[in-house]
Chain A
Amino acid sequence: MRGRVLVVDDDTALAEMLGIVLRGEGFDPVFCADGERAMGAFRESRPDLVLLDLMLPGKDGIEVCRQIRGESGVPIVMLTAKTDTVDVVLGLESGADDYIVKPFKPKELVARIRARMRRTDEPHPETLEISDLVIDVAGHSVKRDGEQIPLTPLEFDLLVALVRKPWQVFTREVLLEQVWGYRHAADTRLVNVHVQRLRSKIERDPEHPEIVVTVRGVGYKAGPA
């Protein structure tokens, strides 16, 4: 399978280099150098993944990210030169699944892209239940009272990882490894932001979560504390 990757970056040299690396890894890169045209390029190319630079001329990366997320659950990986939490969290909250800080190694980038696209392998038919949610793992659907709750693939993976082992408390590091495919990473902002986003979709009262609960000092777990 040739995964199609939409690269939204205004730096032509970097975009070209990304193209070389992605093609070398067997992906099919499509390019867009302008925030204004990004949505058009996205609708036209229907990529399997979007690589999005946060600093773009025209419309900024955050806005583009929000718009794509409004239309689709396609994995979005941000490219950012800023490591400040404010910037990272802003990007993640606008809908990005993952982020990678410049400068990065090609292998690192490819690993992240693969981790996000990995989910094409066919899972076994499996139905999970927690609280009043019914999760169809193979069908990628979460329903409450028969009504579908739209989750991005990443949010879905996060929920399934937690619900599969409701007796286990997951540290943020374990979640990073299982859901994002990171190893030896201490960036818990990624987990925190996505747990918040997941809660806002599946919890009846996101301020007092009952499905994804925080275990203070350790991490998260599914079901009652």
Chain B
Amino acid sequence: MVGTTLVLSLIVIAVLGQLLVGRIADGLLEAKIEASLVEARAGLTQAQAQVAASDRSDPIADDRLVDQIAVQLANRGSSTPRLFDVLLLSASPGTPQRGSNLVSETSVPLRLRAAVARDQIQAWTYTTIAYTDGRPSVTGLSVGAPLSVPGVGAYELYYLFPLTQEQATLELVRRTLILGGVALLVLLGAISWVVTRQVLDPVRYAARVAERFSSGRLVERMDVEGEDDLARLATSFNRMAESLQMQIQRLEDLSRVQRRFVSDVSHELRTPLTTVRMAADVLHDARDTFDPATARSAELLQAQLDRFEALLADLLEISRFDAGAAVLEPEPHDLRDLVARAVEADRPLAQRRGADMVIHQPTTPCVADIDPRRVDRILRNLIGNAVEHSEGRPIDVTIACDDEAVAVVVRDHGVGLRPGESSLVFNRFWRADPARARTTGGTGLGLSIALEDARLHGGWLQAWGQPGDGANFRLTLPRHAGGELDHSPLDLEPADASSVRRVPVVAPPPSRSGAKDVSGGVRG
């Protein structure tokens, strides 16, 4: 801020100074030239008068005449310091030449001599005035005019005006300007520094307060001073902070209440349910001794209690996610172990349905920082789902990993999914065919919970499916806790899919802030 101001001022001052010096120099020189020409003309007139009045009979007097002219002309300028010097130069050799004040003949440039000799009129030029006694030469004006001395020859009268005075004046002006410029610059710098302080300090203060606020210190407020714009800014900021704090507080309270409620409901429901469950089991075990209607009732009671329990557990889990109370507990785990266990757990059911389950896995461990309880739940959901929809066809479970991610794909060859359904499957209580019998008794929340579990890991859970070609569910998890996914080691669309290629529809984007984008990369 201050720096920019200084640089800009410096440029302006420099340009201005240059211009001023130029104008002053031009003015000074113009005046000097004018005066010089007038003086030279006057001198010439005097010299011509002197020549005309001279006694033309005495040839010896020629030398004296020239001397006289030179001395008289030089005397016109003999103030201190000397205003000018005079040189009387002759075009023809052997004639006397005169000069005042030991100025050297070389002070008159040849160009000027040539011009005077040729044009026979007054001419001038800048020159360097040299002296024959070794004084330092000075810059000056040289004005020349032809002077004919009858009987002696054609002379040229040269005036040499030193510009020392003008140079000194110019130097003084330049020094004064530079000094003034520097002073101005310092002053400008100081002013802009002060102004910047005055404007920026409150802004910086506001930024600091806002940063502290955004980093979670919600009680942070700005001090309001005076009535200016900054005070208004502070007032609005404080009002915004106030309202934000209240909103956040309200949300936190709500979340706390919700969490508390879930925990209480959970506990209050579970204890009596345990008693009911045990009683039902006792009745169920003794059903052989009952009459058929009572026995069947005991069976129904037992079966529906299973369903009720599963539903309760899933509902509580979902509400835990909704309340933001779900916590990831990652530890290094070989994904292959988890998959093997989940597959073994469902193998009896799969065999009853005639579905063969095959695991394709690398020979090296696929260790990732995962929450085994949650990943186990995801896998059981996917595998259970595949078994339910397998229609007796084989199920392939494929594992792969690379440096950044681990992935599992569960592929069934059942009815598959209709277009658009691959994003619906993750919806709560969604069923592919409402009319279809609920055979394995899923709660309808399994995939929703699995999706939440995957999101909690910062992972993806995606579905692909085609009518009649089965479905493919892919779970991709970052290998290291907190890692970001940008690809999956496995393709979502299976290689054995029918030739009709379809862009897979992925899981819906996360609705909650803070959740990672699990549905990110639509695979090309």
A residues near B, CB below 8 A? Answer: 11, 13-14, 17-18, 20-21, 24, 55, 79, 81-82, 84-85, 101-107, 171-173, 184, 186-188, 216-218
Contact = CB atoms under 8 A, between A and B. Distances in A.
Given A14-B271, A81-B270, A103-B274, 7 more contacts: A17-B282, A55-B267, A84-B263, A103-B273, A103-B276, A173-B337, A186-B338
Main SS at interface, chain B: helix
Nearest to A171: B337
A187 B267 CA distance: 20
30 contacts: A11-B272, A13-B272, A17-B275, A17-B278, A20-B282, A21-B281, A55-B267, A81-B271, A82-B266, A84-B263, A102-B273, A103-B274, A103-B276, A103-B309, A105-B281, A106-B281, A106-B282, A171-B337, A172-B372, A173-B341, A184-B341, A186-B338, A186-B341, A187-B373, A188-B372, A216-B332, A216-B367, A217-B333, A217-B334, A218-B365
A85 B320 CA distance: 13
Given A81-B267, A82-B267, A186-B376, A21 B274 contact: no
A152 B276 CA distance: 34
A190 B277 CA distance: 25
Interface string B273-291: 1111111011000000000
B344 interface: yes
A103 B277 contact: yes
- Report the 8 A-B pairs with minimum CB-CB distance, sorted nearest first: A217-B367, A186-B376, A217-B332, A102-B270, A81-B270, A81-B267, A103-B274, A103-B273
B334 A81 contact: no
Interface of B: 263, 266-267, 270-279, 281-282, 309, 327, 329, 331-334, 337-338, 341, 344-345, 365, 367, 372-373, 376
Contacts of B277: 103-106
Contacts of A105: 277-278, 281
B282 A21 contact: yes
Contacts of A103: 270, 273-274, 276-277, 309
A217 B365 CA distance: 9
B271 A106 contact: no
A11 B271 contact: yes
Contacts of A217: 332-334, 365, 367
Nearest to A53: B271
A18 B278 contact: yes
Contacts of B275: 11, 13-14, 17
A131 B275 CA distance: 48
Contacts of B333: 217
Contact of A184 (B309, B327, B345, B372): B345
A81 B274 CA distance: 10
Given A11-B275, A17-B275, A184-B341, A218 B334 contact: yes
A85 B337 contact: no
A85 B274 contact: no
A13 B276 CA distance: 9
A186 B372 contact: yes
Contacts of A188: 331, 372-373
A150 to B, nearest CB: 29
A192 B108 CA distance: 109
B281 A107 contact: yes
Contacts of B341: 173, 184, 186
B327 A85 contact: yes
A105 B279 CA distance: 10
Contacts of B337: 171, 173
B266 A81 contact: yes
Contacts of A186: 338, 341, 372-373, 376
A24, A186, A216, most chain B CB atoms within 10 A: A186
A1 B465 CA distance: 58
B382 to A, nearest CB: 15
Given A13-B272, A85-B329, A106 B278 contact: yes
Contacts of A79: 274
Contacts of B373: 186-188
Contacts of B281: 21, 105-107
A117 to B, nearest CB: 19
Nearest to B365: A217
Contacts of B263: 82, 84
Contacts of B372: 172, 186, 188
Contacts of B271: 11, 14, 81, 102
Contacts of B345: 184
Contact of A24 (B274, B282, B331): B282
A17 B271 CA distance: 11
Contacts of B367: 216-217
A20 B283 CA distance: 12
